[in-house]
Amino acid sequence: MKKSQVIKFAKKLNSTNLSALRSGNISVRAKEKGLKGFYITPSGKRYSSLKPKDIVFVSLKGKFDKKKGKPSSEWRFHQDIYVNKKDAKAIVHAHSTCATAVSTHQKSIPAFHYMVAVAGGEDIKCAKYSTFGTRKLSKNILSALKNRSACLISNHGQIAFGENLEKAFELAQEIENICHQYINAIRIGIPKILSKKEMKIVLGKMKNYKRG
């Protein structure tokens, strides 16, 4: 059931242009043989031909059965997010065009639009660059995700998590949309940024909205 969910959203990565072909990866918290961990998309397989047996289980300690296939080369940051963020139940990582373009500037996205609050704060952070798949990159991502549920990754892409795959996916799409708007905003000059005070009000409203 959870494996087919991973496949469904991995295919959606391609069909919605969040990430083309094999780039980007999807995971969801899971248990196998009493072991806590997560199901993640495999390394080097086209998402259009994924089968449940291709989805790899990785434990929260980072162990997996090599005979059953190789997890995405980027499994480490999935592991670290699940270990450190209790509210992360599913993760979507994408090399979506606009988020990736903005990430090459290695800067946070300021409150040029109140919707940056969907990531959980007054701006959207950008994790420092490190080689893909490394523990160092994983650490950088965790710092950018402090009090946030999504961030950019320098010269790489974006990552979003949520209480289920649907929510994580929606958030990744929202981040892509915000980046698209931001690219257009900076094309015509320097946008006016909303004040911290205003963003506090927005964040408060969003929390209530989520609860309601």
Q: Are 124 and 148 in contact (CB under 8 A)?
A: yes
Rounded to 10 deg, the angle between the 75-84 and 135-144 helix axes is 40
* Residue 152: both structure tokens together: 């950019």
Helix, strand, coil percentages in the chain from 3-state DSSP, rounded to 5: 45, 20, 35
CA distances from 68 to 26, 96, 199 (A): 18, 29, 47
Radius of gyration in angstroms for the set of CA atoms belonging to the chain, rounded to a whole number: 17
Q: How far apart are CA 11 and CA 45, in angstroms?
A: 12
Annotated active-site residue in 74, 163, 176, 198: 74
φ, ψ dihedrals at 148, nearest 5°: -135, 160
Catalytic annotation present for 74: yes
Helices and strands of the chain, counted as H and E runs: 6, 7
Q: Give catalytic residue positions.
A: 74
